[in-house]
Amino acid sequence: MHHSAKIKAVQHKGGRCLLCGYNRCLRALHFHHINAFEKSFNISSKNSWTKIEQELDKCVLLCSNCHNEIESGIIDLGIFELLKD
């Protein structure tokens, strides 16, 4: 992803890890699809911002630690149901 597009995308998602609040390193922040069956997510600089925004709405912003914990099953994804407003 183009660097400036990622900054914009990260800011759109609150600028920090949803779970622990980490925000120190942009490269350590990842987008994680809430619905694992919808793996169409592929942000590239070719996409329009509108399209990126639509994809971002299906994702949460996580730091690499929290992302790895979710991928390893240590954190239950059900937590996101609680976090929805």
Q: Which of helix, strand or coil describes residue 13? A: coil
Q: What residues have CB less than 8 Å from 80, skipping those under 6 apart?
A: 18, 34, 60
Cβ contact 67:21 at 8 Å: no
Q: Which positions from 43 through 82 interact with Zn ion, judged by CB under 5 A?
A: 63, 66
The reply on whether position 19 binds Zn ion by CB under 5 A is yes
Choosing from 9, 10, 17, 70, the residue that interacts with Zn ion (CB under 5 A) is 17
CB of 64 to Zn ion, least distance (A): 8
CB of 84 to Zn ion, least distance (A): 18
Residue (9 or 17) nearer to Zn ion, CB: 17
Burial class, 13, CB count within 10 angstroms (exposed 0-12 / middle 13-18 / buried 19+): middle
**Binding footprint of Zn ion on the chain (CB under 5 A):** 17, 19-20, 22, 63, 66
